[in-house]
C-alpha cells in the first residue's frame, strides 16, 4: 500500500481518497488511464505515456484539468512520497454526474495517481511463462477503438478469467477473423529465423508504449521487425515468443496451449532484447 495517492490536486493517505458513487468511471467505465514504471526515481518513457493519455482524452472529448507539465510534477511528487521504484497508474475518469451516459453530464473529471512498489516475477525470466489462446474474442476494432486506453476492461477481464481457469500466466486473444491481436494486458511478439514479428495494429490492438520501444531497440540492433497479420500457427511454429507491457517489460513464453515454444526455455533473442530494454531504462 502506498503512503500517498494524488486525488484531484491533493495528496492524501489512500484511505482518505474517495471517489463519488456517481462518478461515471465507477458507473460506466468512462475514463482513461496509463500505467508506467519508475526506475530509480525516473519514469521511463513518460513523454510517450502522457502523449497517449492526451490523445485518448481528445478522442473521448474528455478535458483533462491539468497540463502535461502539471501532471509531470504530480508524478514527481508521487515518487518523492512513495519510493524510487514504482509501478504508477494515472487515471482520468469522466467524473461525477447524474445517471446517464451522456458525457456532458459530468463537468469535472476525476484525476487519480496511485502507485505500488515494482518488482519482477523471476520465474518468467528463468523458466518462461505459460500462455494460451482464449476463446473470448478481442472487441471489434470499429466498435470500441482499441487505440484508446480505456477504463472499460470487460473484454480483457473475461479473457483473464479463462486464463486463470487454465492455470496460465497470460491469455492471447484473436479477432473475429481469427487473427492474433494481443494479450489480456500485453502486446505479443514472435521470433522466426532471426527476425521479429508482431501483430499489426489493423488487427485491432492497443499500440503499447513498451511494444513500440522494443521495435525501436530491435531495429537499432539490425533486427528485421515486421508488423503483420499473424495467425495461431505462426505462434505455434515460432522459434521464440514473448509478450510486453510496462510493468513486466519483456516476458519470455515457454509453453503455449500446452506446446513447448522453441527449446521450452527463454530464447536468445528474447533475453537479448530484455537486456537492451533494461539498459535503456537506466539511461
Nearest to 245 by CA among 170, 175, 190, 192: 170
3-class secondary-structure state, position 275: helix
What is the separation of C-alpha 209 from the centre of its chain, rounded to a whole number of angstroms? 8
Instruction: Tell me if residue 149 is catalytic.
Output: yes
Q: Of these residues, 149, 160, 232, 272, which one is catalytic? A: 149
Q: Which secondary structure element, helix H or strand E, spans residue 72, and what is its range?
A: helix 68-82
Give the whole-angstrom CA distance, residue 92 versus residue 63: 9
Contact present, 190 and 149 (Cβ < 8 Å): no
Q: Is 111 strand, coil or helix?
A: strand
Q: In this structure, what C-alpha cell is assigned to residue 161?
A: 478469467
- Strands 249-256 and 240-245, by their bridges, are antiparallel
Whole-angstrom distance, CA of residue 10 vs CA of residue 75: 12
Distance from C-alpha of 263 to C-alpha of 75, rounded to nearest angstrom: 42
Q: Which residues are catalytic?
A: 149
Amino acid at each position: 500500500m502506498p503512503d500517498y495517492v494524488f486525488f484531484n490536486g491533493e495528496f492524501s493517505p489512500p484511505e482518505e481518497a474517495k471517489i463519488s458513487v456517481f462518478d461515471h468511471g465507477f458507473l460506466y467505465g468512462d475514463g482513461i488511464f496509463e500505467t508506467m514504471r519508475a526506475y530509480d526515481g525516473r519514469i521511463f518513457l513518460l513523454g510517450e505515456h502522457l502523449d497517449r493519455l492526451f490523445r485518448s482524452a481528445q478522442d473521448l472529448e474528455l478535458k483533462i484539468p491539468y497540463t502535461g507539465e502539471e501532471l509531470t510534477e504530480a508524478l514527481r511528487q508521487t515518487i518523492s512520497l512513495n519510493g524510487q521504484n514504482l509501478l504508477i497508474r494515472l487515471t482520468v475518469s469522466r467524473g461525477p454526474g447524474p445517471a446517464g451516459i451522456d458525457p456532458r453530464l459530468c463537468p469535472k473529471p476525476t484525476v487519480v495517481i496511485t502507485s505500488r512498489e515494482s518488482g519482477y516475477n523471476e520465474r518468467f525470466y528463468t523458466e518462461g511463462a505459460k500462455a494460451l489462446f482464449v476463446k473470448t474474442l478481442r472487441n471489434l476494432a470499429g466498435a470500441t477503438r482499441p487505440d484508446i486506453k480505456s477504463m472499460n476492461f470487460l473484454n480483457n477481464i473475461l479473457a483473464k478469467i479463462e486464463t486463470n481457469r487454465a492455470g496460465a500466466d497470460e491469455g492471447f486473444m484473436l479477432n473475429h477473423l481469427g487473427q492474433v491481436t494481443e494479450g489480456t494486458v500485453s502486446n505479443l511478439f514472435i521470433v522466426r529465423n532471426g527476425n521479429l514479428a508482431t501483430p499489426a495494429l489493423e488487427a485491432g490492438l492497443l499500440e503499447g508504449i513498451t511494444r513500440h520501444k522494443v521495435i525501436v531497440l530491435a531495429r537499432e540492433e539490425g533486427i528485421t521487425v515486421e508488423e503483420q497479420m499473424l495467425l495461431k500457427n505462426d505462434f505455434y511454429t515460432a522459434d521464440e515468443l514473448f509478450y510486453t507491457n510496462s510493468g513486466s517489460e519483456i516476458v519470455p513464453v515457454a509453453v503455449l496451449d500446452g506446446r513447448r515454444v522453441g527449446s521450452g526455455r527463454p530464447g536468445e533473442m528474447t533475453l537479448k532484447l530484455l537486456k537492451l530494454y533494461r539498459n535503456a531504462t537506466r539511461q
